[in-house]
Amino acid sequence: MEESHIHKRLAVISGVNVIAGNIDLLSEILLRLPARSLIRFSLTCKLWFYIITGTQFRLSHCRTLALSNALPYSGVYFYNSLTNLQKIDSVPLTGNVTNLPPVPLLDQMAAKTGYPVKVTQSCNGLLMCVISSRTEVSDLKLGFVCNPAKNEYHPLPSPYDKNYEVVYGYNLIFDPSEPPYYKVFCIKRLGTTFRGFSFGSTDLEVSVYVPGTESWRSCCRFYVDYTTRFDCGVFWNGAIHWIGEYSSVHFDAKSEEVVIKNMPPRPQGDFTEKIRYFGEWGGHLHLIQVQTRYAKRFNVLELDKDTWKWSAKYHVHLARLISAFPEMIKQTPYGIHYAFSILSVIRGENEEDSVLLLTIPGKVVAYNLVRKTTKVVRELPGEVANTLHFNHVSAYKYTESLFPVREWSNTKKWCSYQRLARTSPSGKGYLFGTSSEDLFEK
C-alpha cells in the first residue's frame, strides 16, 4: 500500500516536471490565470518571468480573457475632482482582491512636471490620464495611457496643430480582443485662444490616435451646446458618450460618426446642474439627475440599446441610509444638507445584487437598490473623507490587465515633435509640438 502511494507521488512529480519544462504547455496554462496572479507568479523563477513578461504573452493573455468574458471588475479608483488633491484612492469589490494597484506614476509625473495630473477615464484595465498646464496666455492638456497593474505608461503626441487650440478632453477605448487594441480620441475646438478670449470657429473636432503612429488624424467636426462635458466620456455599446445638461453626444468608434441627441427631461427645481452621475457597468449605461444638489430622492435611469430612450430603472430614497448614518446630516446657513457622493451604479449578476456605491463622511457604503439595505465597504482616512463632503467625485471602475502599454512607446520614436519654447510677455514659457513624455523628462 505504501509502495503504491509512493509510485503515485512520483507520477505526480514527474507530470509537474513535464509541464514546468514545456514552455508551450506552461504558457497555455498561465494564459488562463488572472493578471494579478501572474504578476506574483512572474517572481517564481526565471522561466516563468521570461514567459509572463514577454510582449506576445501579455497580448495573448488580454485577448484570451476578453474572448472568454473573464474580465471582472476588481474595484473602483476615485478622488475628488474639484480640488488639487492628487492622491487617488480605491475600493476593492471582490473577496479575493484586498486592494487595487497603487498608481505612483501620477505622483511622479506631477512632481517632475510641476503640473496637475488627473485620471479622466478607465477602460478594461487602462487609465486615461491628462497633464494640465496653465499660463497667462493659454491652457494646455497632454495625455498618456497608464496600466496601473504594471505601473507602465504610454505618452501621447501633442494634438495641438495651431497655437492656442482648446483641447476639451481625451477619451480611450481599449478592446483586448483585436488590434490595434486601443485608440484615443481627442476633442478640441478649432480656432485660437489668447488670454481667455477665443477667436475663429466654434466647431469641435474629433482627432484619433492609434498606438505606433506618430500623430493624430482628424476625422470629423460637429457643434454642440456649451454644457457638454468632454473630459469625462464613457465607452458603451461601441461608442464614446458625452453628456451635457441639455444634449448628449456619442461618437461611434467604427463609423467615426457623431450623433447628437436631447437629454431626458430634467427634474423640476431651481438647481441648475441636474446631473449627479453618468457611467457604465456590465453593459448598462446609467444616468442620475437630481432636483437639488443634496437631494435624497432620485431615479437611476438606463439607456436602451435598441430604442435609445432613457427610462427609470431604480427609484432611490436614502431615508434609511441617512437614519443609519446621521453624520450625513449637515446643518448649514442654507438649511439641511446631506453629505454623500455617488461613486458608481454597480449591476450584479442577479438583480437583487445591484448596488449604489456611495461615499459618506468617513466611509464608502454600498446601498442595495432592490433590498434597500446598506453595507460599509471600507473606512476612509480623514484626509480623503473630508474632501468628499458636498463635492462631485470622479470614480473609475478597474479590472487588472497585463497589456504592455510601454511597448508602444518603443516600437517607434513617435515623439518626433521638437520642443518649441515660446515665451509670453510675462516671461513664462509654454510648449507646443510636445508630448507628455517630453514633460515627464524635463
Q: At what angle are helices 55-67 and 23-30 packed, to 10 degrees?
A: 40
Lowest mean pLDDT among 281-285, 311-315, 428-432: 428-432
Distance CA 179, CA 402 (A): 15
Instruction: List, for residues 328-383, the tens digit of each pLDDT value.
Output: 888 877 778 888 889 999 998 899 999 999 988 888 999 999 999 999 998 887 66
Q: Residues of the chain with pLDDT > 70: what percent?
A: 77
Instruction: List, for residues 255-309, the tens digit of each pLDDT value.
Output: 999 999 888 888 877 667 788 899 999 899 999 998 877 788 999 999 999 888 9
| Residues 6+ positions from 258 with CB-CB distance below 8 Å | 206, 220, 222, 249, 250, 251
Domain ranges of the chain: 1-70, 75-398
- Check residue 298 and give its pLDDT: 93
- Please give the C-alpha separations between residue 359 and each of 80, 127, 344, in angstroms, as whole numbers: 11, 22, 10
SS (H, E, C) the chain: CHHHHHHHHHHHHHHHHHHHHCHHHHHHHHCCCCHHHHHHHCCCCHHHHHHHCCHHHHHHHHHHHHHCCCCCCCEEEEEECCCCCCCCEEEECCCCCCCCCCCHHHHHHHHHHCCCEEEEEEECCEEEEEEEEECCCCEEEEEEEEECCCCEEEECCCCCCCCCCEEEEEEEEECCCCCCCEEEEEEEECCEEECCEEECCCCEEEEEECCCCCCCEEEEEECCCCCCCCCCCEEECCEEEEECCCEEEEEECCCCCEEEEECCCCCCCCCCCCEEEEEEECCEEEEEECCCCCCCEEEEEEECCCCCCEEEEEEEECHHHHHHCHHHEEEECCEEEECCEEEEEECCCCHHHCEEEEEECCEEEEEECCCCCEEEEEECCHHHHHHCCCCCEEEEEECCCCCCHHHHHHHCCCCCCCCEEEECCCCCEEEECCCHHHHHCC
Average pLDDT over the chain, rounded to an integer: 80
What kind of architecture, by CATH, is found in domain 75-398? 6 Propeller (2.120)
222: left (phi over 0), alpha (psi -120 to 50) or beta: beta
| Residues 6+ positions from 126 with CB-CB distance below 8 Å | 145, 146, 147, 172, 174, 182, 401, 403, 405
Instruction: List, for residues 175-218, the tens digit of each pLDDT value.
Output: 888 787 899 999 988 766 555 555 556 788 999 999 888 889 99
- Check residue 113 and give its pLDDT: 81
Q: Report the pLDDT averaged over residues 401-430.
A: 46
Block residue for cell numbers 521570461: 50
pLDDT band at 320 (very low <50, low <70, confident <90, very high): very high
Structure-block grid coordinates of residue 313: 430603472
